[in-house]
Amino acid sequence: MNQISINEFIAGIPKAELHLHIEGTFEPELMFKIAHRNNIPINYSSVDDLKKAYNFNNLQEFLDIYYAGASVLIKEQDFYDLTWAYLTKVHKHNIVHTEIFFDPQTHTDRGVSFETVIHGIHNALEDGKEKLGISSQLIMCFLRHLDKESAVKTLTQALPYKKWITAVGLDSSELGNPPSKFERVFSKAIDEGFITVAHAGEEGPADYIWEAVNLLKVSRIDHGNRSLDDDQLIKFLAEKQIPLTICPLSNIKLKVVDDLKNHPLLELMDAGLMVTINSDDPAYFGGYMNENYSRIASALKLSKKQITELTINSFKSSFLPNSDKEKMIRKIEEYYQKNNN
């Protein structure tokens, strides 16, 4: 049997994506197109000019550009087109399940209604299921740089759409905005039946991860790189198998990690943590899922067995029903048996 390369192996293996901001999939070409049809000026003269600005020294420098980009999204069709573009792209990456973050406050603060945002995204996800066979769930994130009252208002706006939203999350500027600030709104969300997740330990300290677990009762930690600063925390996360959604290319672009060769992924795996690979904001960070897998595999010399383990983790860590998880794990194991030569 012909041996396939590690990149071919990665391309063909079924994957779930668990850390993906839909606003972070906004490719410059689509951004210019939507800005033009909405008559909104963009501060850059061309797609190339805009792409040159994608050099960030930290999370905040990225967020400033990311929010500016999202400001051209006005109509339901814009949110549909954004989501549909992501789905058609990752269909080619063999992503069969995706759990997508959206940031309603980025849009409602500009006068775009919650309904407009969620209808556009939801309709594209429905088409994704029907036409591409991609299952999906939605995670509504609160922007942590805004006050907690705004988060409560957003949760209230979401209640009529409960059946379309699986979980609530926490994103945006981490330092100075600890999970404890959002304890009350997360508690309300749990009472309403939402699962919870939170970005923690991307730039913020390991203490923020403890807060996310203990106060926000999260089922997953988004990023969580800084957990390695705290031996007790590593032990706890391993014992409880609380998944970390790791984003290699994001970590490089935002200088959370200086070089992929120094990425903590293997250390986390060796410590027995449930880790997954994800793309975060692929339009800004230089790659979608397969690039994230390929680049980290090459930097850390990952084996096909380790890639298989990471993709199995992506389904185990998902919010899919157990029967779907088991079905996907069996498929991945068959794929490995066929292609591990």
- Just list the catalytic residues: 202
Minimum distance, C-beta of residue 250 to ligand ADE, in the bound complex (Å): 5
Per-residue string for binding with ligand ADE, 171-200, x by CB under 6 A?
xx--------------------------x-
Name, in order, each residue with C-beta under 8 angstroms of 92's C-beta and a sequence gap of 6 or more. Answer: none
- β-strand partners of 97: 16, 135
Residue span binding Zn ion (CB under 5 A) among the ranges 31-39, 121-129, 255-263, 275-283: 275-283
Per-residue string for binding with ligand ADE, 64-103, x by CB under 6 A?
--x-------------------------------------
Minimum distance, C-beta of residue 24 to ligand ADE, in the bound complex (Å): 5
Minimum distance, C-beta of residue 281 to ligand ADE, in the bound complex (Å): 5
Name, in order, each residue with C-beta under 8 angstroms of 222's C-beta and a sequence gap of 6 or more. Answer: 19, 169, 171, 197, 198, 199, 200, 202, 244, 245
Binding at 172: pick from ligand ADE, Zn ion, none (beta carbon under 5-8 Å per type): ligand ADE
**151 phi and psi, to 5 degrees?**
-65, -40
Is the CB of 13 or the CB of 265 nearer to ligand ADE?
Answer: 265
Q: Which of residues 8-37 bind ligand ADE (CB under 6 A)?
A: 21, 24
**204 phi and psi, to 5 degrees?**
-80, 165
- Give exposure, 271-284, as e/b (b: 16+ Cβ within 10 Å): bebbbbbbbbbbbb
206 alpha carbon, distance to own chain's centre = 20
Binding at 81: pick from Zn ion, ligand ADE, none (beta carbon under 5-8 Å per type): none
Question: Under rule CB under 6 A, how many of the chain's residues touch ligand ADE?
Answer: 11
Q: Which of residues 277-316 bind Zn ion (CB under 5 A)?
A: 280
Give whole-number Cα distances, 317 to 22, 39, 89, 193, in Å. 20, 42, 23, 19
Binding at 264: pick from Zn ion, ligand ADE, none (beta carbon under 5-8 Å per type): none
Distance CA 212, CA 105 (A): 21
- Length, in residues, of the chain: 341
- β-strand partners of 183: none
Binding at 211: pick from Zn ion, ligand ADE, none (beta carbon under 5-8 Å per type): none
> Residue 194 has which token pair?
């939402």
280 binds ligand ADE (CB under 6 A): yes
Contacts with Zn ion, residue ranges (CB under 5 A): 280
Contacts with ligand ADE, residue ranges (CB under 6 A): 21, 24, 59, 66, 171-172, 199, 202, 250, 280-281
